[in-house]
Each structure stands twice: as C-alpha cells, then as structure tokens.
Structure 1
Amino acid sequence: EVWFAEHDTVYTLGHAASEENIILNNDIPVVRTDRGGQVTYHGPGQLMIYFLINLKRLGWGPKRFIYELENIIISLLLKYEIKAERKGGAPGIYVAGKKIASIGLKIKRGLCYHGISLNIDMDLTPFNGIVTCGIESLDVVQVTDFTDITMNQIKQDLTDIIRGNSLKVA
C-alpha cells in the first residue's frame, strides 16, 4: 500500500538521531519516530510517500527496497528533466550534491513502513535549524527550484511510476 501526505511543520528524529542535531531553538515541534535515520524537517509543500510493503513476499532485503525507492524518485525527477542521483553512504536522492528527497524506514518481521519525503514547493529555511540527516552543511533543494510543476501533477506522475515499478503495488 502507498499513501501520500503533507505534514504540518515538524522535526522528526529517527532511531539514530540525537537532539543535539537540532541547532536552533525555534518553535518547531520535535517528534521522535520509530523510523531509521537522523533528524529531518517536514512541512507543507513537501510530499510524504508512505509505504506498507511485505518485503518477504517480494523476496527483497532492505538494501534492494531502498534502491527501488530511489529509482522511483530518480525516474520522477527525470520526467521533469531534473538530473538526480544517489550518493554513496547517504540514502536519499540528490541534485547537484544537494538533497531533494530523504528516505526513512522501519522494517519489522519483513514488513516495511514509513517512506520518502520529497521537497516540492516549501519553505526550506527550517532545515537551517538542524543537522539534516546527521550530515553537517548538507544543502537541500526542491523540485520548484528546477521546474514549475504542481503537487497534484507530481502525485499523478508518482502514482503512474509506482504502478509500473516492480513493487507490485496496485
């Protein structure tokens, strides 16, 4: 199953996150989650793509699933002529070395949930208040830095890409 969502302004901390990575004392709420990873920011204009996938049924391990999720975002961005890529040792998707999408997952008994956050058309300044994904001086970008596209069009294009992907999601 796949869900799309947008969240109110919030910092989330994954299992590996330290509150020390919140470097500005602002009024943004902080929520600890059960996903993997470090600290990140979520807010309006960012598309959350949540998955509930049985990896055992697919015969996949976590690395393969992350690779497939990255492929989905790379394919989507390529559709808009945005050259996106992986960065070794740093899950997520990058454009010109700047992060445009983050991945945070929880895998338990072969079931995987949580997912991807894709920066589309949002206020990026709250990222300045954290050590994003635990990486010092990590710059972030968004889709509208490169092209003029709506959230609704991105959701439709993502739906088409996911349906055509080997995740076997209906």
Structure 2
Amino acid sequence: MTPWFFGYGSLVNRATHNYPQAQHATLKGWRRVWVRTALRDVVFLSARPAEGHSIKGLIASVPGADWAALDLRETGYDRVDATHAVQHQAGASDIAVYQVPTDTQREGGDHHILLSYLDVVVQGFHREFGEAGAEHFFATTDGWNTSVYDDRAAPLYPRAQQLTKAERALTDRLLAQVQ
C-alpha cells in the first residue's frame, strides 16, 4: 500500500516538490500555527489538533513508501497518522501529517516568519484554491503576532520561488490584515 502525506504549508506549492498524484484535501479537526523552537531563529509552520476547525491542503503519494527525502525536508517535525482526519477523493488509506512536537516548542524569543517562505505558501494556496484559498490560509493559521523578516531581495528559504507582482501584492495585503 502506498502511503500519502497531507501538506498544509509549502508542500501545497507544487513548484517545491515532485510528489505524484497531488490533489486537494481537507484536514478536519486541525489548525495551522506558527511555532518557535530552539532549532532555529525562524518559526515553523505547524498544525495542531483543534476540534471544530479544518484546513485545506494537498495530499500526495510517497512512492515506494520512501519517506527519507520528505522526512529530511521536514526536519524538526514528527510524522503523525492523520488518515481518519483527511477528507479527499484519492482513495488513499494511509495518510500522515507533519507536526512540530509540542516538547520542542517554546514561548518567546526573537523568532520571525521568513517572507520568502510565506510567499511560497501563499503562492501555492493561490494557485491551488484561488484568492479564497489564500485568504483561507491566513484565516486558519494562528500566531500572526510573530514578526516577519523581509528577505525577498535575498531569500533565505531554500525553496523560494519567483513571484509575480500580483502574487507579492496578495501576500502583502493579506499579511497586513492579520498583523
């Protein structure tokens, strides 16, 4: 049986990966959140259980059940079973989601959101779900009181993408609404 993963951040942007059979899905009973850890000075985008909530994203298959590359990409996260929480049309029966372990999270610190990372996430949601999808990302994510570091001129995020002027403006407009 081929396993699948649910992506709710940069994995929604197909330009950042080549996992096959990616398709829309919804993770029920979860919410996105920006979290701090001791691992780095930027925040991680994570997901946490939250009854009554749901988040949109993509599921994609992991060919040959070879998780190594994806686990490496998602360093700092635990892979947890989310099979019964994901609504989809793929027929997948083994679905994982990546979550920053609560015991590695911490409060405070001078952590920030990389704008180049946020741009990639918003670009992915916009391309997959339209403007309403980008708005959904912001509305279903907690932790917007975190500062944003503008690294667009020299992106620090390793999978940074080129954005159009309209895509940058969309990120800027939606970010201004939550900060």
User: Structures share a fold, TM > 0.5?
Assistant: no
Bigger share in strand = 2
The alignment's TM-score, normalised by the length of structure 2, stands at 0.24
Write 1 or 2 for the structure with the bigger share of helix.
Answer: 2
